[in-house]
Amino acid sequence: MRRAGLALGLLALLACDASEIGPGPAGDGRTSVLLTDAPFPFDRIARVDVYVREIALSTSLDTSDASPEWVVVSSPDRSFNLLDLQNGATALLGEAEIPAGQYRAVRLVFDPSRSTMTTTGGELLGTAVGPGDPGITWQAKGDRPSLFALVEEAMAIGADGEDVVVDFDVGRSFYWNGGDSFIFMPYLRAITRAGSGAVRGRLLHAGDGAPIPRAVVEVHIAPDSSAQPGPLLATSRSGEDGRFLASFLRPGRYQVIAQDLSRAATGTGVVVEVKAGETAEAGDISF
């Protein structure tokens, strides 16, 4: 049997040639599952550490605990700083032997009691005592709550294995309730690395051409005809040089919209075509 894996952080372990949506050959495959995130939009938070207990995959759409289809890929039992995972960075969660097949569900089991935020001032934020109090109000039950990633199309794992990326969107998962109070409403996506593409660009001030750092970049499904943006799929953030990279997107047409929160300014949407295994260019976006 070949090994399969889960990953979170800066390193993707395996390259593979399995299609994201095509049928996988018989046998078992070496599969990596990686966790990544979209950048957190609040400058006041320096770290977001989520303690991950277990990652499992299933070929069934049934996500109940009673389902016999879950295959545990990794039990890392450690925390990961999601803010380290930006612009396509991933970190290894683990590896395991899994049967080849079409996987339709991804389950992440985490520990809220050992998951925290750290402010830029060094203050540690744990579980909030009550609604509106400093800390995180977890919308989860029990000591081992499960999070389920959105799987838009079945992920084909073949005999040679596959990298599976879990995109943990911090900016959409932690709702700021004012002060140091946050409400956790998880938003995760799962996709194979081989079946995904990316989009990159650079944000510039319209006046002097200076880069726009730490701006929020939203990736929407491109509207067919309406002037309004389509559904929001993912977020990213520009670096100090104004450059951004939004990764792990399914092939398709997307509209990229940038926001400079420091100026409350929004750029004009740019439509790009993303292809599997390629990086689309959004170019320079000035506003």
pLDDT of residue 28: 53
Distance from C-alpha of 180 to C-alpha of 196, rounded to nearest angstrom: 35
Distance from C-alpha of 162 to C-alpha of 153, rounded to nearest angstrom: 15
pLDDT of residue 16: 28
Name residues of the chain where pLDDT drops below 70: 1-43, 65-68, 226
**What are the residues whose beta carbons fall under 8 Å from the beta carbon of 18, sequence distance 6 or more?**
24, 29, 156, 157, 158, 160, 161, 162, 192, 194
pLDDT of residue 65: 66
Give per-residue pLDDT as tens, 137-179.
998 777 789 999 989 889 988 887 788 888 888 877 888 887 8
pLDDT of residue 33: 61
pLDDT of residue 87: 73
**What are the residues whose beta carbons fall under 8 Å from the beta carbon of 205, sequence distance 6 or more?**
211, 212, 286, 287
Distance from C-alpha of 163 to C-alpha of 99, rounded to nearest angstrom: 14
